[in-house]
Amino acid sequence: MAKEISLATVKKHNKADDLWIVIENKVYDVTKFRLEHPGGEDSLVDVAGRDGTKEFIDVGHSLEAREIMKKFYIGDLAAADIKKNSPISTSATPTETGEASISNAPPTAPKQCCILH
Ligand code: HEM
């Protein structure tokens, strides 16, 4: 099983040189990646130490981006924090307004949660 990391722990890593982000209930250490991020260091620092799922999805990141992020995965958000933390995180369903959370995925793509497994 993946390591479980509490939101309180993630919050401690909220600086540019110590930068963890929660995306879809998974925790990523993007400290090293921040300088390579095509979207810039600042966008990552903005969500440092917290859940950046919404921001990540809003950008419409490519599947390539999702491949890259796997390299920085360090564990899962603790179960106790998932319930109160992120109601959207378990949803892989595009919204009715067309803001598809997996807009760059092919039509046959499995549910979003499965891409990352
Ligand atoms: C581990 C996490 C992340 C990875 C691996 C990642 C990777 C990437 C990559 C590869 C791109 C180039 C475009 C694409 O392929 O989609 C990109 C663009 C971008 N990302 Fe991220 N990203 C991450 C997290 C975030 C977060 C949390 C935010 C916002 C808070 C963000 C904001 C942006 C923005 C604004 C762009 C530029 C989009 C554009 O210019 O069209 N990224 N990112």
Residue 109 has pLDDT above 70, yes or no: no
Mean pLDDT of the 38-65 span: 97
State the pTM of this model.
0.78
Taking CA atoms only, the protein residue closest to ligand 1 atom 5 is 69
Mind listing the domains of the chain with CATH numbers?
4-115 (3.10.120.10)
H, E, C per residue of 59-104: HCCCHHHHHHHHCCEEEEECHHHHHHHCCCCCCCCCCCCCCCCCCC
- Supply the pLDDT for residue 108: 63
| Sheet containing 73-77: order of strands | 4-5, 73-77, 26-29, 18-23, 14-15
Centre of ligand 1 from the C-alpha of residue 94, in Å: 19
**ipTM of this model?**
0.95
Centre of ligand 1 from the C-alpha of residue 40, in Å: 8
- Supply the pLDDT for residue 89: 47
Higher pLDDT, residue 21 or 85: 21
- Residue pair 106/73 in contact (Cβ under 8 Å)? The answer is no
